[in-house]
Amino acid sequence: MPTQLEHLKQFTTVVADTGNFRQLAQFAPHDATTNPSLILKAVQQPEYAPLLAECVATHRGKPLPDIVDQVLVRFGCEILALIPGRVSTEVDARLSFDTAATVARAHRLMALYQHAGVPRERVLIKVAATWEGIQAARVLEREGIHCNLTLLFSFCQAVACGEAGVTLISPFVGRIYDWYKKSAGLGWDELAHAGLNDPGVRSVTQIYTYYKHFGISTEVMGASFRNVGQILALAGCDLLTISPDLLALLQSADVEAAPVVRILDPEAAKVAHMPAISYHEAAFRYALNDDAMATEKLAEGIRAFAGDAVKLDKMIELALG
């Protein structure tokens, strides 16, 4: 019997959002994404302990950041063996405000992938969508290193990424939803903010429409979902990266009982009415600052990813003895 997941794949490239590569085969995603929190979660599981120990033992004596990158790339290579498409590997979030350091770390990650025999087109270097991160991605894209700009919460971030020629962006649906729900408190009406009215869904829809309307080639990949309703409300988006728990729900849902209908359509976007926008640095910083949700969630996301990077460092240091 056809499932919602199978039907969603007709409109959208389905991406698995996990560091647990043993879960991938059952969902047959095209691409996969990781982040520091997902990798940290994976390496704490017993089945991945040998992989971490092997990486540490093989590269003992190298600087800690080099060993961390070896671990990230090893997970990426394991994932790529199970999918036909691309894997996203993230630059250390502690470099989110340093363009040169981000470029240097991206070069190292890509060199490690190429040394492992992985071609550039199968890797997306994941970078936080700060002004500095976007400028780093501009440099990397010109060098043929493709980027996934993450922790994206605002329209201004998306516009700047499109202007920089970024390959792909990951607007965070669920975290936008979280902010508005928390901000509303007891006044939040879940039903009134469901489906197409979900604030995270509306954000991605605006970005998708803008890109398609103006012929911007940057791909839009909705991310950070809280429920299946958010996913189905974005059917037709270029890509959607989905956690294993939600992939399982989509895979178990009978499409005849709950049909999947294409919502986002590039042809409809072409005839939408919207002005073209451009941001230089000062205008970008002001627009981001003017969006309380985006400012808070970007800062919170960087802190969380940086904190998990520190925890991964400590795990590796402990393994080094």
Q: Where are the domains of the chain?
A: 4-320
Using alpha carbons only, give the angle 137, 35, 244 rounded to the nearest 5 degrees: 130
Please report which helix (H) or strand (E) contains residue 175, including its range. helix 173-184
pLDDT in tens, 78-132: 999 999 999 999 999 999 999 999 999 999 999 999 999 999 999 999 999 999 9
Distance between CA atoms of residues 302 and 317, nearest Å: 22
Confidence of residue 184 (pLDDT cuts 50, 70, 90): very high
Task: Among 76-85, 104-113, 248-257, 275-284, name the one with the lowest average pLDDT.
Answer: 248-257
Phi-psi region of 28 (alpha: psi -120 to 50; beta: other; left: phi over 0): left
Superfamily for domain range 4-320: Aldolase class I (3.20.20.70)
| Residues acting as catalytic residues | 126
According to the model, what pLDDT value does residue 6 have?
Answer: 94
Nearest by Cα to 7 from 292, 240, 321, 168? 240
pLDDT in tens, 288-297: 999 999 999 9
Computed over every residue of the chain, the mean pLDDT equals: 96
According to the model, what pLDDT value does residue 1 have?
Answer: 72
According to the model, what pLDDT value does residue 257 have?
Answer: 72
Query: Has residue 279 got a pLDDT over 80?
Result: yes
What percentage of the chain exceeds 70 in pLDDT? 100
* Residues 13-38, mean pLDDT to the nearest whole number: 92
- How many CB atoms are closer than 10 A to CB 194? 15
Nearest by Cα to 32 from 243, 232, 238? 243
According to the model, what pLDDT value does residue 31 have?
Answer: 97
Q: Which residues pair with 168 in a beta bridge?
A: 148, 219
The first and second tokens of residue 308, run together, are 């998990």
- pTM for this one? 0.96
